[in-house]
Structure 1
Amino acid sequence: MADLSRLSLNTITVREQWTLAQCIEGCARHGIPGISPWRDKLAAYGLERATRHIRDAGLHVSGLCRGGMFTLPNAIEDNKRAIDEAAALGADCLVMVVGGLLPGSKDLARARGMVADGLAAVLPHARAAGVKLALEPLHPMTCADRAVLSTTAQALDLADALGDGVGVALDVYHIWWDPEIARSIARAGSRILGFHVSDWLVPTRDTALDRGMMGDGVIDIPDLRAQVEAAGYHGLIEVEIMSERDWWRRDPDEVLGVMKERFTSAV
């Protein structure tokens, strides 16, 4: 029997087809032990109902997506709410997509300063709630609009400056290209709080919404998995696929079935 004991569904993989309640039931039906909700679907379902449903289904919450976006208005209060949600869910971490440039701005240094200041401002709240903040470096193509953290080394530098309670979430889609990634993974060690998988298609038709199922692209996922495990990460592995032209158009039970097969053959 295939070993699915470390598999987690990042619910964006079927976000166009299923509600959060359906994702929870789908995981239980397919024998998938982990789940990582997104906050919009969590809000639609209700935090208390979702928490109870996840618990009753016997699922482990590998992460909550997402906090961050510190260059947008009201970011501090929104991140404190996200921390409280992660605590209620018992999530392993709150994934932080830190934010891009300020609207209308070209000042990259200012944006990075706001990110550092924003994280410092919410970190005491996270520590008090027992929630770990997982900085997610994103591919440089997202620097303007989603994340001014573009490399794992950069994220680790910021984690070093912030101290306890801050680590990194490593998504193969965003880190596979980095010539320094092996050194950075080894450096990260116990600060790896999450590991996300999908694949990079050639050609990629949309930089945000054309991820591939594991095994359909060019990323050496088993090698990256071996590196994070050698560094000490043995937590759940999230499948996170944003696929407007393909997987979001398929029957979600089919998606989960293929996901399970590829988790054992291509991860």
Structure 2
Amino acid sequence: MRVLAAKVWTPTDIEEAWSLRKKFHLESCFVAGGTLLQTQWEKGVSYPPQLISLEKVEELERMNYKTEGAKRFLQIGSMTKLATCRNHPVIKEKWSLLSTAIQQIAAPAIRNLGTIGGNVVYGFGDAIPALLALDAEVSYFDGKTIKIEKLDHWLNTRQNNEVLLTGVILPEYRHSSFVTQFYKKVGRREAFSGSVVTVSGVIGQNDAGIIDFVRLAVGGGDNRPQRLKETEQLLIGQMIKPLLLKNVYDTILNEFHPISDVFYSGDYRRWTAANIVISELSRLEG
């Protein structure tokens, strides 16, 4: 029977948490819900000797609906449980895509422990494609101040910077006559298994059926989630027609380059992602 030998620290604010991380550096890590560490430990991966738990940092569990000028957004503390996000009435009303995505993350017991911040910091979490499609931002502490950045940019640069994620920010959709959204997870087995491919999207159309905004995101397996920005640009200002769908399919295959593993090839993931997007767009044709 393996015994946890690490020492657990419980700071009460982000400055204290940051100072502990700087003190112990590579011999430490931040801990949110701890579900990922538990999984790794069960596989034989050792914990670092110093664990910095964020469970007592109350400011990281707050959820606030704010208005700043013409901008309205929901600020979610990074320590907010996944189950709380899934069931929160404001999220279910205005950002239901996130609630839908969280429902397909792991088992209920894990959602009761896991946090939105932990899912994002992991870098491959199944909530990330939905957050990218929702144009989410993240807030983080860099040792001096709280900064805000687009999630897609942060995912591509965070590995080079030591920061403490403090929250996720969801802006309200821009106005369109008709908005559709989707979240599709293809797994090896049941819904709470690891994903093979995850695809998410938010599409807005005007009264004439012309797309006036679109955000598409893909991920799955050990592939870092990404926005399909070339595909998005192809769709902007267009009405959905068969020729457009063919061009979208080809563009996705050129833009998305997932890696292979022992179960599925990268090509299979590309084709699956492209087929899902085309299926969803076809529902809007005409």
Query: Could you tell me the TM-score, scaled by structure 2's length?
Result: 0.23
The structure with the largest helix share of the pair is 1
Between structures 1 and 2, the one with greater strand share: 2
